[in-house]
Amino acid sequence: MNKPEVLEFLDLVPLLRQDVPFAIPVLRDLAALTAQQKADLPYSGAGVLWRRINRRYLRLCRLQEELGRLDFKQAASGVSAEDYVFSRIDFKRYGKIDEKEFNARYLEGLGDFEDTLLVKNLGLTRDEIISLIEKNYEKNGDSYLLRKENPVILSVMRALDTSLESLPLFTQEEIRRELTDLYDFIYKSTNKTLPVPLQTRNAKQFFQLLVHCLNDVTIAHEDGMKTTLFLSPQGDLSGTFRPGNKPWTLVLIPIN
């Protein structure tokens, strides 16, 4: 199996009706990303991969914004660097959050983090975090309002807002599940199996080739900035983001 075969496969994905009885959101978005690459246009869709990349960008924007507010010359005498940095964090932003941002950045964004990382950094499970957010915020019109400030909810919201320890952009397991559903649908519909190059047993190779298809893909964000995806010499898929027009590079899918 080679990259042209994978690209040919991705060209077929958009031909699947949206109402098929299974979901392949990652494969559909990969097809859209590679199509935009062929057209030499930045991808600005709202698919699952764009949203994941965009949330990373938003977290970098938040960090860049906070770094821009730091001036250690203004720190009071005797105040540690850590305390000064903490004092410059704008926790008031979590008092009222636009509904779209609330759902995308914090609720859906929770899925960007591994369960063990949440417990390690916050001392809370995923379900406990969801419950905490639901108990502390109430919907008011097109916004969510924090009922009462407390250190726990503020630390959770800030972690979801700024943490860069994200899961890979997509995983081999996600691709395996989507391929399995697709193969099952094709078999039930036509009583035919797919040719050997696309069999599930070759999912690892297929996954690696999918990652390679994202080399040089450009992502457009809502503020006009663009992120470029590229393969590192080691084979990682990385992205160069430009929050505040400052370059940051993050590994999106590690080779191992």
**Is the pLDDT reported for residue 82 higher than 80?**
no
Backbone phi, psi, residue 6, to 5°: -65, -45
What's the confidence (pLDDT) of residue 146? 97
Helix (DSSP H) and strand (DSSP E) numbers for the chain: 10, 7
What's the confidence (pLDDT) of residue 199? 54
CA 36 – CA 96 distance, rounded (Å):
36
- Residue 212: exposed, middle, or buried by beta-carbon count in 10 A (0-12, 13-18, 19+)? middle
Those residues with Cβ within 8 angstroms of residue 211's Cβ, 6 or more apart along the chain or in another chain: 231, 237, 253
Helix (H, G, I), strand (E, B) or coil at 167: coil
pTM comes to: 0.89
DSSP string, 51-119: HHHHHHHHHHHHHHHHHHT--GGGSPTT--HHHHHHHT--GGGGSEEEHHHIIIIIIGGGGGS-HHHHH
Whose structure tokens read 């979590």?
94
Model confidence pLDDT, tens digit, residues 108-143? 999 999 999 999 999 999 999 999 999 999 999 999
What's the confidence (pLDDT) of residue 197? 45
Give the mean model confidence (pLDDT) for residues 157-185. Answer: 91
What's the confidence (pLDDT) of residue 232? 92
Q: Which of 186-190, 224-228, 236-240, 246-250 has the lowest mean pLDDT?
A: 186-190
Strand pairing report for 143-146 and 218-220:
unpaired
**Is the pLDDT reported for residue 56 higher than 80?**
yes
CA distances from 172 to 9, 61, 84, 179, 200 (A): 17, 29, 42, 10, 11
Give the mean model confidence (pLDDT) for residues 175-199. Answer: 72
**Is the pLDDT reported for residue 101 higher than 50?**
yes
**Is the pLDDT reported for residue 145 higher than 50?**
yes
**Is the pLDDT reported for residue 180 higher than 50?**
yes
Model confidence pLDDT, tens digit, residues 207-221? 899 999 999 999 999
**Is the pLDDT reported for residue 91 higher than 60?**
yes
Q: Does 201 or 128 have the greater pLDDT score? A: 128
**Is the pLDDT reported for residue 160 higher than 70?**
yes
Q: Does 135 or 89 have the greater pLDDT score? A: 135
Q: pLDDT category, 96, cuts 50, 70, 90?
A: very high
What's the confidence (pLDDT) of residue 196? 45
